[in-house]
Amino acid sequence: MKKGEQLYEGKAKKVFATDNEDYVIVDYKDDATAFNGLKKGTIVGKGVVNNRVSNHLFKMLEGKGIPTHFVEEISERETIVKSVKIVPIEVIVRNIAAGSLSKRLGIPEGTHLAHTVLEYCYKDDELGDPMINEYHAYAMELATPEELGKIADMSFKVNQYLGEYLKTMNIELIDFKLEFGRFKGDIILADEISPDTCRFWDTRTGEKLDKDRFRRDLGNVEEAYQEILHRLMGGEK
């Protein structure tokens, strides 16, 4: 498949056309941003880690019956994915209190939540991705009730499969963000699942192995990303 013109450049990825209109190529960058772009930096090797980690997890989820945009990894930073129309809703799933939930509701970080929390945010940088509920989503025609039902169902399943899988590598899945896309009449999992979009804590030490190391200036940022790749790949090169 031929790499064509650049269609889009986001904060962490570039997207290129291909000679097949059903597919695009995603190219992962080392650029890191936080707090809606207010904090900027570089995490050396992040693009490689996120590409490989995300593809590895999408393949695992496909094996469990979750449809994703993943098609083929073509280099350490580039992957062919289905050309979806992104649903402009960020879905956040939480198992343990952290980040904005802890701040907003006064629940100390690390508190086990008695029920899994599902949040929706309207994907809009200028507005700072405000939290919405399903009625806002229908009112703004971001998704239909049928689509949002599928999105919620898939999000809970991803949480279950991902949480179980990561536990075998001594990684606790605290929370994460998902995005979905429309492709040939279906809703499929899109974007990425990586240390940029999840909170991963070491189950034994509680050490943070994700983007919070960058957001909060905790040091050993690159090392944390490499550690996640290493644990997921195991023997795989």
Residues in contact with ligand C5P by the rule CB under 6 A: 90, 92, 98-101, 129, 175-177, 197-199, 211
CB of 98 to ligand C5P, least distance (A): 6
Kindly tell me which of 38 and 235 has the beta carbon lying closer to ligand C5P: 38
Q: CA 137 → CA 59, 86, 184, distances in Å? A: 29, 14, 21
User: Which of residues 81 and 173 has its CB atom nearest to ligand C5P in the complex?
Assistant: 173
Query: Which residue type, as a one-letter code, is found at position 235?
Result: G
- Taking the complex as a whole, the smallest distance from the CB of residue 194 to ligand C5P amounts, in Å, to 9
Choice between 54 and 197, CB closer to ligand C5P:
197
What is the CA 156 to chain-centroid distance, rounded? 14
Whether 67 and 84 have beta carbons less than 8 Å apart is answered as no
Q: Tell me 162's DSSP state.
A: H
Provide the minimum distance between the beta carbon of 195 and ligand C5P in the complex, in angstroms, as a whole number.
Answer: 8
Report in angstroms how near the CB of residue 115 gets to ligand C5P at its nearest: 17
Closest contact distance (angstroms) between CB of 236 and ligand C5P is: 25
3 state SS of 220: coil
Q: Is the Cβ of residue 74 or residue 99 nearer to ligand C5P in the bound state?
A: 99
**What is the token pair recorded at 153?**
């169902």
CA atoms 224, 225, 231, 234: torsion sign: negative
Length, in residues, of the chain: 237
- Name the residue nearer to ligand C5P (CB basis): 46 or 211: 211
Structure tokens at 18: 């291909």
Cα angle 143, 149, 153 (rounded to 5 degrees) comes to 130
Q: Is 198 helix (H, G, I), strand (E, B) or coil?
A: strand
